[in-house]
Chains A and B, each alone.
Chain A
Amino acid sequence: AQSVSQHNHHVILSEAASLELGCNYSYGGTVNLFWYVQYPGQHLQLLLKYFSGDPLVKGIKGFEAEFIKSKFSFNLRKPSVQWSDTAEYFCAVSNYGGSQGNLIFGKGTKLSVKP
């Protein structure tokens, strides 16, 4: 069965620090990859997605993610975080091939940015 691992449960950074959140998945076939963000008290919003092509994907608010197929990883990065980036971040994988894919979510990583 597919699974998604986000190894960091809670990350605490100061403003202007660089961010990298890890995401690994287990699925041997072709996948589509997503990062969603959930700000406190709000619903999930799409940050970025990878379907095909350039493995370095740029999303909203200065976020980017790199798909490394050999490592089954899709890590999220931001060079300089802001206090407003405080939120929970979810990595999700959708299997691709022949039928509609479901999203399998990781457990999430809570990011706290200190002003």
Chain B
Amino acid sequence: DAGVIQSPRHEVTEMGQEVTLRCKPISGHNSLFWYRQTMMRGLELLIYFNNNVPIDDSGMPEDRFSAKMPNASFSTLKIQPSEPRDSAVYFCASSFWAGGASTDTQYFGPGTRLTVL
């Protein structure tokens, strides 16, 4: 299995530009999570999907951030317009949730290191 795939691995952009981060979850997984990691705030959950439906987006910092999951094998996280304070490593993770009162192990992608100048 290829694991969770993220692209690009590194992104450098200027303030005000649109940034799109991409994620391909592990085949067969039905849940997908977007996290942001910074030195100051650690690892924060931004949003997660179950069966392609957004379940909890309370961690999305503001309207400049949006995420979509058009199908089971692809998700995007978009920042428009980007700001220097968005600089961070963005991780995507996926898992298989069996439903009901169960939990699931999340498998992380390599991350996208975003720098906004």
Contact = CB atoms under 8 A, between A and B. Distances in A.
Contact of A100 (B45, B50, B105): B50
Interface in A34-81: 34, 36, 42-46, 49, 51
Contacts of B107: 46
A108 B103 contact: no
Interface in B32-57: 33, 42-43, 45, 48, 50, 55-56
Contacts of B18: none
Contacts of B56: 102
Contacts of B106: 46, 103
Nearest to B4: A43
A94 B91 CA distance: 18
Given A43-B111, A105-B42, A98 B105 contact: no
A106 B56 CA distance: 20
A39 B60 CA distance: 26
Nearest to B89: A43
B1 to A, nearest CB: 14
Contact of A102 (B48, B100, B110): B48
Chain B contact residues, majority secondary structure: strand
B55 A100 contact: yes
A45 B42 contact: no
A107 B42 CA distance: 5
B89 to A, nearest CB: 9
A46 B104 CA distance: 12
B101 A44 contact: no
B97 interface: yes
B101 A98 contact: yes
21 contacts: A43-B91, A43-B109, A43-B110, A44-B91, A44-B93, A45-B108, A46-B106, A46-B107, A49-B105, A96-B102, A99-B101, A100-B31, A100-B97, A100-B102, A100-B103, A100-B104, A102-B48, A103-B33, A103-B106, A104-B45, A105-B43
